[in-house]
Amino acid sequence: MSDTSSASPASSTSTLVASVASSPELKAISLEPLEVSEDDKAEALRLKTEANKAFTSHDFPTAAKFYTAAIEKNPNEPTLWCNRAYTRMKLEEYGYALSDATQAIQLDPRYAKAFYRRATCHMQVLKYSAAVTDFKKVLALEPKNDSVRAQLVSTQKLIRKIEFEKAIEMEGEQNPVERCREIIAEGGCDVDKGYAGPQLDLEDGKYKITYKFVKAMIQWFKDGKTLPKRYVWEIVIGAYEHFSKSDSLVYVELEDGVTCDVIGDVHGQFYDMLHLFSLTEEPNEKHYLLMNGDLVDRGSWSIEVILTAFAFKWLYPNYMFINRGNHETKDMNRAYGFEGEAKHKHGEQSYKGVGIGFGPDVTKKWCALNGVTGVIRSHEVRQDGYQIEHNGLCTTVFSAPNYVDQGGNKGAFIRIDSAGNQKYFQFEAQPHPPLKPMAYVQGGLGSMFM
């Protein structure tokens, strides 16, 4: 019952363009079958064909619109709801997808694929027990489906693992940064004498970061190598010291001649991030960078992404800014790969839910209340990399092109100058080593989170 999609070819361009149309809105769901004419059934089938073509081309917003139009013609057809559910999963509109899958089940209580779609939606929003219930429904209908049986077993193991971890967690547990410092002071995390990679400078017994180290570290990562655990800790602690001294809401003044680029989700796509930095420039006194959250998970180079960002924060604390996204959290890291990647590369857990939607009315009230002219947010894929929404008050920027190697979307960043003017730049995905997204998701569940 699995679904496969091919990745789009990578290229290297950047352009300045306008925005695209918004995602489909949720329609009211009727639980009672409606009378549908033969002409409307035929038109629904035609629209479904167009939707399937758009989906195959990874144009998920267009596919969703065609499925929506088909549903309006024939709301009694469960496959239309199920197909739109899968499309909305690709758009990461999981609440809508759950609703669509549920409607398909109500129309056909023996529709195994609809139960499977709903199960995978529950997995995406970390509702593992609900996913188990739906996996069991699939197996009741298709008892020989070994793939779903394996996913059920893996999900049950994941639930037991989470319950065990919660049981052993102690209230008032020591701050992990302080514990790392203690281990370092006790000599428990020294750099291996055989390490021959980039070297942090050591002054008066304390490590210092330099631009030379950062550039050498990036090349070290490109060569497929990892830093020693001690250096990883030093970079994280170096960034932490600056974060901990900052307010939760940071005000940044852009003086004349200074610009700031806002970067959206990167999601562990290290090679795309390096290309992005070649377009934005690295942070400096005349050009600031703001990474707007969701740096990790899904992509299989999340360690390289977060360490590069933290290294620049340690080196240039007044020019490099990093917001925390919903994927910089423990539960999401466990589900979407970063925790597994951290363990694989450095033997450490990542201790770091799912967003809520808001409409133009909320944006307008919030801007008026806080005296601002607009909001720049990330978190959701946009096919052109960015989209101006909510009557110009809200702009979404997404910087992970060809998301998880199958989105077919562009990446983008926004450049803001001292006068508040904004320019929008697009870029395409870059080639990377042959490692699939979600490579470090534990329990064999990686394909379900894509």
Which two structure tokens, joined as six digits, stand for 81? 């709801």
Which two structure tokens, joined as six digits, stand for 359? 């409409």
Residue 291: name the closest of 330, 260, 336 by CA.
260
Please provide the distance, in angstroms rounded to a whole number, between the alpha carbons at the two ends of the chain.
15
Distance CA 137, CA 130 (A): 11
Distance CA 292, CA 399 (A): 10
Residue 131: name the closest of 109, 150, 155, 105 by CA.
155
Distance CA 427, CA 403 (A): 13
Partnered with residue 396 across adjacent β-strands are 377, 387
Neighbours of 269 (CB within 10 A): 31
Partnered with residue 265 across adjacent β-strands are 398
pLDDT in tens, 275-288: 999 999 999 999 99
Looking from the CA of 190 toward its CB, the CA atoms found within 13 Å total 7
pLDDT in tens, 15-26: 333 333 333 444
Q: Provide the sign of the torsion angle of the four alpha carbons 91, 378, 331, 268, taken in this order.
A: positive
Distance CA 412, CA 114 (A): 34
If the chain, 450 residues long, is cut into consecutive pieces of 10 residues, what is the mean pLDDT of each piece? Answer: 38 34 43 84 97 93 96 97 95 92 97 97 92 97 96 92 74 76 89 93 92 97 95 95 92 94 95 96 95 93 96 97 91 87 78 60 92 91 92 93 88 94 94 89 61
pTM > 0.85: yes or no: no
Distance CA 389, CA 108 (A): 36
Provide the annotated active-site residues. Answer: 327
Distance CA 55, CA 87 (A): 7
Reduce the DSSP state of residue 425 to 3 states and report it: strand
